[in-house]
Amino acid sequence: MKMWPFLLLLVTLLLSTAATLPSEALNVRGHLLKSKTFLSPAIFLRPGSVSNKIYFDVAFPKGHIALKSFDAEVVDEHGVPVPLHETYLHHWVVEPYYIPKGADAAETKLSKIIPRRNSGVCKTTLGQYYGLGSETRHTATWVPDPYGIEVGDPVAPPEGHEEKQWLLNVFQIDVAKCTVSLKYLDWLLTMAHDLGCLFVQIEYQVEKCSSEDRAKNDCVHVQVAKQILPRGGDIVFGVAHQHSGGIGASLHGEDGRLLCESVATYGEGREAGNEEGYIVGMSTCYPKPGTVTVSDGEALTVVSNYSSERQHTGVMGLFYILVAEHEQQSQL
Ligand SMILES: *[C@@H]1O[C@H](CO)[C@@H](O)[C@H](O)[C@H]1NC(C)=O
């Protein structure tokens, strides 16, 4: 038995080192940005095995708060980042969940809880609130001011339930420790809004390109899907999630206009954050509020491109967007 690293999930609790924050992070008009980091327990596994752990009642901040960012890191027992070719971080997902009132959080079983989903269209097929994969290290998650993702709204839980925070699911191959960190603010009535998830297909196959296509230098597999966005508003953030082989994805409005394009970055070396052959980051979109808008019920198109130089199985093409309602005038 060998000891494999941990996943470090960091939530920011006290105003942390300015150097690591985008400059706008410090300008939340006098409201104290807090952060908190959660270090998962160490997991012992044989090489090549897979770990899909769910931690309940993770010691993240509780209450009515506004999420500003989520970052994760896979580290060894000394806190040193572990490269993806040693421990592949397939995904990590954090979500609030509801439990029956009075139930003991520690004894609550998966069958008793109601996970809280984000308001995107993935929720029926993909148990998703918030999370990323191998691209974690170089993908911005900062929710631009004056917005925040709301959790812990006391009136939101279904009848007879209360909201618990947090559930963390870490899926790793050759497991390590994981840390996840979150930056947040106390909830302010005027902040908006929710994170939505869109997808081309939860899992699909990319066939190797034909010799004719190869001759034309056209070994790109394009998967397209339409999704109806129930509620419109201003897109203030967007990012795609793809697996190895992914080139990038784009999101388009009903008339074809480009709403956001998110492109994969591959590593070129051996060190953590720059692993050759792995997606180490996805570019993000931060449109100025009011410049990229979508309407209620608009049919959006998600386009996911993969290299078909070789076959890829079980790939994903997801798009996360943050949509702020038009009317919501922030007084932050
Ligand atoms: C996806 O592929 C199409 C067709 O090759 C191309 O026009 C588009 O720019 C690509 N988008 C991304 C994000 O790579």
**Span 220-258, pLDDT tens digits:** 999 998 888 877 888 888 999 899 999 999 999 999 999
For the Cβ of 224 lying below 6 angstroms from any atom of ligand 1, the answer is no
Contact 6, 35 (CB under 8 A): no
Q: Is the dihedral of CA 177, 133, 185, 19 positive or negative?
A: positive
Average pLDDT, the chain: 76
Query: What's the rounded Cα separation, in Å, for the pair 39 and 180?
Result: 7
Q: Return the residue matching tokens 């932050």.
A: 332
pLDDT value at residue 139: 92
Q: Which of 206, 218, 260, 303 to mutate to test the pocket of ligand 1 (most atoms within 8 A of CB)?
A: 303
Structure tokens at 54: 């769910």
pLDDT tens digits for 54-112? 877 777 777 888 888 888 888 887 888 888 888 888 878 777 778 888 777 666 666 67
Distance from chain centroid for Cα 109: 24
d(CA 166, CA 128): 13
Torsion of CA 167, 134, 8, 144, to 10 degrees: -80
* pLDDT top residue among 154 and 277: 277
Q: Name every residue whose Cβ is closer than 8 Å to that of residue 185 and which is 6 or more positions away in sequence.
A: 28, 31, 32, 33, 34, 65, 66, 68, 148, 191
Distance CA(172)–CA(54), nearest Å, equals 12
Distance (Å, whole) CA 67 – CA 34: 10
The whole-number pLDDT of residue 287 equals 93
The gap between the terminal CA atoms of the chain, to the nearest Å, is 52
Q: Which runs of E-coded beta strand occur in 230-288? A: 233-242, 246-252, 258-266, 279-282, 284-285
- What is the tens place of the pLDDT at every residue in 134-154? 899 999 988 888 788 777 777
| SS3 of residue 23 by DSSP | helix
258 vs 27: which has the higher pLDDT: 258
Q: Are 130 and 93 a contacting pair, CB within 8 Å?
A: yes
Note the pTM of the prediction, 2 decimals. 0.81
Q: Is the CB of 247 under 6 A from ligand 1?
A: yes
261 lines ligand 1 (CB under 6 A): yes
Pocket probe for ligand 1: among 266, 279, 305, the residue whose CB has the most ligand atoms within 8 Å is 305
DSSP letter (8 states) at residue 211: H
Q: pLDDT at position 280, please?
A: 96
